[in-house]
Structure 1
Amino acid sequence: MAKDKTSAGGAKRSASSKPRAKTPAFLENKYGVADWKQAEQWLAWRGIEDIECITPDLAGVPRGKMMPSKKFISETSLALPSALFRQTISGEYPEETGDFRYDPHDGDLKLMPDLSTLSAVPWETDPTAQVICDLVGADGKDIAYTPRNVLKRVVAAYAERGWKPVVAPEIEFYLVAPNTDPDYPLQPPTGRSGRPIAGGQAYSIAGVNEFDELIDDIYHFCEAQGLEIDTLIHEEGPSQLEINLRHGDPVTLADQVFLMKRTIREAALKHGIYATFMAKPMQDRPGSAMHIHQSVVDIATGRNIFSAEDGSETELFRAFIGGMQHYIPKALVMMAPYVNSYRRLTPEMAAPVNTAWGYDNRTTAFRVPTSGPAARRVENRLPSSDANPYLALAASLACGYLGMVNGIVPTSPTAETANEGEISLPRGLLEAVSLMEAERAFDDVLGREFTATLAGVKRGEFETFMRVISPWEREYLLLNV
């Protein structure tokens, strides 16, 4: 008679039983893997069939290529034409002006997948994943004028000083009824009550609940991608919502905003609604912003350099604000990139119109929220939600950086209402472009090739806009002039 096999502890076990292999932790990661070997296993474990290799263009629009997952893990070479990053939002290629030039060969830019951004695409019917890519040239060097590389350049400038910027974006957007004819104004969608939601619903839970099934899909889609929403609220405008993200690394947060915009649009379309990030989608209604909370920590100690050991404000904190006051009007085109963006920046419409700063003052461009010393930060309230998140973050951080390295002294804080009266910002797109081009301090921190490229594209977009005859012109000029 055979003897029972027992474990070291004396417990009986079957001769055929084996310890169950533990699932590697990285396979359960919803966002990002470490290397190509992990990527191959991650894709196989999920049964992924297709991969979307995407990268943001100057407008923040996802560009790229789709391929079978088996092709992807063979590390096949992927490329995009360089002209894509000189294209306007309407798909045109502007004339060469100033320092704006095309590659005479329209050569390829190589897509380099950042595997730390690998995630599922939960709204696709076939198992699909996505990965954000950087762009390099034939020599393997980063392409300086592409948005993700511009932001990385700014973060690297901080690192050279021993600093690490920390950001937390807040994104506002409108839900609107489907609009297939651009000649007609946008309208709020119908909620679950069967009636379009009215304005004046700031922080209204009932306003959020009007679209609870859509919002549930946003949450589910974000969870499936490993995107973390901090809070969601209803804003002042009709069916205007705001999503806040947790603070963290600027490139990581820009990636999240890039993916989240796409996610919100897809969730809205699933419910027969449009989600728009236009800065000013409805006349006489509040515009949509992308507020950016910013602080800076010392890499060696992890301490917030805006606060001294006794908890008081530091000179670097003041200089960061001074830099934003001085330079942001010259970088505003990176935060307000379209003609429509400047319709938001008007007096008495819940948006800043100057470079004032203050403590817990939401009428200023630069607000210092109430916090303890470790969380001392500056909120930049100027960027609009139509901005490319990589470029808006790069501009805001670059201006604060220049303030710190140049010791720029800010004005005194204001406790008054600051968004009324005189406007001290560029009033339109062309003025903002000219100010950016003329500021040579941006050459090192942002790169001259980038600013020249952005200027050329924005001038092209303005010329396209000037070909359009608006309803205002037909109403007031048709029979009166």
Structure 2
Amino acid sequence: MADREQIRQQMSEDGVEYILAQFVDINGSPKVKMVPVAHFDDIIDEGAGFAGAAVWGMGQGPHSHDMLGRIDLDSYSVCPWTEGVARFASDLYVDDEPHPYDPRVNLKRVLDDARAEGYVFNTGIEPEHFLVTRDSDGKIQIFDPDNIDTLDKPCYDFKGIANVQGYLRDLMDGMAMLGWDPYQSDHEDANGQYELNFVYSDALTTADRYTFFKMMTSQFAKKYGAIATHMAKPFSDRTGSGGHVHYHVADANTGEDLFLDEGDDQGLGLSEFAYHFIGGILAHAPALCAVTSPTVNCYKRLQVGAGLTSARSGFTWTPAFITYGDNNRTQMIRTAGPGHLEDRTVSAANNPYLAFAAYLTAGLDGVRNRLDPGKANLGNNMYELGLEEIQRRGIRLLPQSLSEALQELKKDPVIQGALGVIADEFIKLKEAEYGEYHKQVTEWEVDRYLTMF
């Protein structure tokens, strides 16, 4: 663990003059106070003060006592988009007690419980996102400074990536400076969509980094006159953005990958422990979906039937089938390699602190109860099976709306337990969000129905 005097010296060497004491609300949106470096000790020992009722989902009213954000020294990150500023992720306290409505505090609770059983949850995330601009009438367009990002299949296109090379280099250089070891960036499947990859870590560190990554994208995009968006599906005719999670569980004492077994009879390189973990994910998948795809817009991405091939590129690349298999991107859970799993259903709009807490809890429930995931779904292109065949095989589907997912969450005490006291707040706010969405009369409805009757 970092020592305050070591960090104080490092900040002096880095020329830090201001500190962002940062936490996230229930949506995963970063919230900050800017603190002069002279008050560094204050935000370690006391914390930066916040009025909880001013932020979504913190379980507070206007009468509540202050939330105090106490910084985590291990999360020290110089802000690469500006000079003289560093960010620390914070844990919220109220009346000198950890605030259970803080998503980061809640994740630490779940991770501590897992460590007490001998487990560490290691995760990586694929942060897909779009660069867009907004017209004077409010409509969005892809950010395309060279007017060349027009291919139906733009994935990996050289001209497409050269179009925004400055932005991608700024991000990669910033991540390298921070020690994240970025190793790839690419133009993704939709026009104006990009992904940058950095090396996995423990779940808390990855959640902190993903949050900071979103902060970086917003600031570097602004430099080029663009808006970076992590909403799941900004364009109806293009592939949506995922936050695909790569993961394994390790032994807390030795670091051994507990998912790995080269002698696996199914040839996937997975252990009995891993299969039980998968069993837990599949069992809780409908409720888990409310947490990993937490907005109404996320379900424009999680489509089945004709929706699977509705993107301009030919595929949405987003399976909504509750299955697992080999290195097959049409499955919910892909075995990316021996001892290495990927969940492709997770939305870019997820709050990583809540998503990781729910995911680990679901998987370990499978381990404790020795849940059987069944045989791996091998050799199938799930997009081509058709709904009738999928139903005939007894394959379940993920919820097709936020409302449906919330109903599943209400019935699942395991996933609710993973969220702690946040669960009721989450359900209340998300039901209100869906209700507000459902009241809207869209342009599509007017165009389709105005003169139909």
Fold equivalence (TM over 0.5):
yes
Q: Which deviations, in whole Å up to 9, do the C-alpha atoms of 1:197-218 show, x marking residues without a partner?
A: 4341222333212211121221
In structure 2, the partner of 1:141 is 97
* 1:74, distance to aligned residue in structure 2 (A): 4.1
Matches for 1:308-457 after TM superposition, within 5 Å: 308=261, 310=263, 313-347=270-304, 348=308, 349-371=316-338, 376-414=339-377, 415-419=379-383, 421-422=386-387, 424-447=397-420, 449-457=421-429
Structure 1 stretches of 4+ with a deviation exceeding 4 A read: 101-104, 308-312
CA contact (8 A) 1:60 1:387 kept: yes
What one-letter code is carried by the residue in structure 1 that aligns with 2:41?
Answer: I
Q: 1:178 aligns with which of 120, 127, 134?
A: 134
Matches for 1:138-217 after TM superposition, within 5 Å: 138=95, 140-179=96-135, 181-182=137-138, 184=139, 186-191=140-145, 193-217=146-170
* 1:383, distance to aligned residue in structure 2 (A): 0.6
CA contact (8 A) 1:338 1:429 kept: yes
Farther off after superposition, 231-240 or 142-151: 142-151
SS of structure 1 residue aligned to 2:259: coil
In structure 2, the partner of 1:107 is 65
Gaps of 5+ in 1: 1-32, 89-100
* 1:43, distance to aligned residue in structure 2 (A): 2.5
Q: In structure 2, how many angstroms separate the alpha carbons of the residues matched to 1:273 and 1:309?
A: 46
Structure 1 pair 84/434, CA: closer, same or farther in 2 (3 Å)? Answer: farther
Structure 1 pair 153/127, CA: closer, same or farther in 2 (3 Å)? Answer: same
* 1:71, distance to aligned residue in structure 2 (A): 2.1
Q: In structure 2, how many angstroms separate the alpha carbons of the residues matched to 1:105 and 1:435?
A: 33
CA contact (8 A) 1:48 1:127 kept: yes
The share of aligned pairs that are identical, in percent, is: 29
In structure 1, the partner of 2:441 is 469
In structure 1, the partner of 2:9 is 41
CA contact (8 A) 2:57 2:101 kept: no
CA contact (8 A) 2:148 2:159 kept: no
What one-letter code is carried by the residue in structure 1 that aligns with 2:271?
Answer: T
In structure 2, the partner of 1:298 is 251
SS of structure 2 residue aligned to 1:379: strand
Q: In structure 2, how many angstroms separate the alpha carbons of the residues matched to 1:478 and 1:321?
A: 48
CA contact (8 A) 1:324 1:399 kept: yes
Q: In structure 1, how many angstroms separate the alpha carbons of the residues matched to 2:229 and 2:178?
A: 21
CA contact (8 A) 1:366 1:380 kept: yes
* 1:179, distance to aligned residue in structure 2 (A): 4.1
Q: Which deviations, in whole Å up to 9, do the C-alpha atoms of 1:59-111 show, x marking residues without a partner?
A: 111112112111233445422223245459xxxxxxxxxxxx75583222221
Q: Which deviations, in whole Å up to 9, do the C-alpha atoms of 1:131-190 show, x marking residues without a partner?
A: 11011221x3322222112222222232121111111111111122334544x3x32222
Q: In structure 2, how many angstroms separate the alpha carbons of the residues matched to 1:320 and 1:435?
A: 20
Q: In structure 2, how many angstroms separate the alpha carbons of the residues matched to 1:336 and 1:105?
A: 32
Q: In structure 2, how many angstroms separate the alpha carbons of the residues matched to 1:465 and 1:164?
A: 38
Gaps of 5+ in 2: 309-315, 388-395
What one-letter code is carried by the residue in structure 2 that aligns with 1:402?
Answer: D
What one-letter code is carried by the residue in structure 1 that aligns with 2:246?
Answer: H
Structure 1 vs Structure 2 CA RMSD: 2.2
CA contact (8 A) 2:129 2:193 kept: yes
Matched, 1:251 2:204: yes
Structure 1 pair 360/452, CA: closer, same or farther in 2 (3 Å)? Answer: same
Structure 1 pair 152/77, CA: closer, same or farther in 2 (3 Å)? Answer: closer
CA contact (8 A) 1:117 1:131 kept: yes
SS of structure 2 residue aligned to 1:149: helix
SS of structure 2 residue aligned to 1:73: helix
Q: Which deviations, in whole Å up to 9, do the C-alpha atoms of 1:345-399 show, x marking residues without a partner?
A: 113222111111110110000111233xxxx121111111111122222222221
* 1:194, distance to aligned residue in structure 2 (A): 4.0
Q: In structure 2, how many angstroms separate the alpha carbons of the residues matched to 1:401 and 1:53?
A: 32
Matches for 1:52-91 after TM superposition, within 5 Å: 52-75=20-43, 77-87=47-57
In structure 2, the partner of 1:277 is 230
CA contact (8 A) 1:135 1:142 kept: yes
Which structure has the bigger radius of gyration? 1
- The total of aligned residue pairs comes to 427
Structure 1 pair 187/309, CA: closer, same or farther in 2 (3 Å)? Answer: closer
Q: In structure 2, how many angstroms separate the alpha carbons of the residues matched to 1:457 and 1:419?
A: 33
Q: Which deviations, in whole Å up to 9, do the C-alpha atoms of 1:447-467 show, x marking residues without a partner?
A: 1x1111111111121223234
CA contact (8 A) 1:188 1:197 kept: no
CA contact (8 A) 2:128 2:242 kept: yes
Q: In structure 1, how many angstroms separate the alpha carbons of the residues matched to 2:406 and 2:2?
A: 40
Q: Which deviations, in whole Å up to 9, do the C-alpha atoms of 1:103-127 show, x marking residues without a partner?
A: 5832222211001112222323x52
TM-score by length of 2: 0.88
Structure 1 pair 370/68, CA: closer, same or farther in 2 (3 Å)? Answer: closer
Q: 2:78 aligns with which of 106, 120, 126?
A: 120
Richer in helix (by share): 2
In structure 1, the partner of 2:19 is 51
Farther off after superposition, 75-84 or 247-256: 75-84
TM-score by length of 1: 0.83
SS of structure 2 residue aligned to 1:369: strand
Q: In structure 1, how many angstroms separate the alpha carbons of the residues matched to 2:155 and 2:428?
A: 39
SS of structure 1 residue aligned to 2:219: helix
Structure 1 pair 431/134, CA: closer, same or farther in 2 (3 Å)? Answer: same
Structure 1 pair 445/59, CA: closer, same or farther in 2 (3 Å)? Answer: closer
In structure 1, the partner of 2:392 is none
In structure 1, the partner of 2:393 is none
Structure 1 pair 386/444, CA: closer, same or farther in 2 (3 Å)? Answer: closer
Q: In structure 1, how many angstroms separate the alpha carbons of the residues matched to 2:69 and 2:410?
A: 28
Q: In structure 2, how many angstroms separate the alpha carbons of the residues matched to 1:386 and 1:368?
A: 23
Matches for 1:234-249 after TM superposition, within 5 Å: 234-249=187-202
CA contact (8 A) 1:49 1:128 kept: yes
